[in-house]
A = this chain, B = another copy of it.
Amino acid sequence: MAKSVNKVILLGNVGKDPEIRSTGGGTMVANFTLATTDRAKDQQGNWQDKTEWHNLVAFQRTAEIVRDYVKKGTKLYVEGKIQTRSWDDKESGQKRYRTEIIVNDISLLSGRDDAGGGGGYSRGSNAGSFDQRQPAAQEDFAQSAEISDDDIPF
């Protein structure tokens, strides 16, 4: 009987293979990015495509589905909620923010061969992606605010 609503609906393409981790408490966590593209008029009145990148996080059973079926290029429908985490920047002492979509539900829209990579959705196909780097600007985040059991929103 919530008194408020925080709901996000996204449909787009996954930017790279998800990163799969576990918290100390054993909760599986999947991090990945999703691109949505808008058509908008620019200053000159020309239509331009503008891509928006979203940081998604899935937990537990949903993280397993991500691990097993989602990879770079996968077209996905996602329902979730917006969450902004903050931490203190080590260098400057400033407050910094990172907004993420906590994924509640997921629907795979790619056909079997639509998504980028090699063979299909076999479990463990993301094994090699553990090492993938985040975009530069999130290094600081990664170090200062690695996900912990305190961050699990349930």
Contacts and interface: CB of A to CB of B under 8 A. Distances in A.
Interface of A: 1-13, 15-16, 21, 23-25, 27, 29, 31, 33, 35-41, 43, 49-54, 57, 59, 65, 69, 73, 75, 77, 81-92, 94-99, 101-102, 105-109, 111, 114, 126, 129-132, 134-138, 140-141, 143-145, 147-154
A87 to B, nearest CB: 4
A27 B150 CA distance: 11
A25 B73 CA distance: 38
A153 B60 CA distance: 12
A106 B4 CA distance: 10
B134 A11 contact: no
A148 B151 CA distance: 35
Nearest to A131: B51
A147 B21 contact: yes
Contacts of A9: 5, 7-9
Given A1-B65, A5-B10, A43-B150, A135 B86 contact: yes
Nearest to A55: B138
Given A23-B149, A75-B109, A91-B92, A82 B85 contact: no
27 contacts: A1-B65, A1-B69, A2-B38, A2-B107, A3-B109, A4-B36, A4-B38, A5-B36, A6-B12, A6-B36, A21-B147, A29-B147, A38-B81, A38-B153, A49-B129, A52-B82, A52-B84, A82-B99, A85-B151, A87-B145, A88-B144, A89-B92, A89-B144, A91-B92, A98-B145, A102-B153, A109-B109
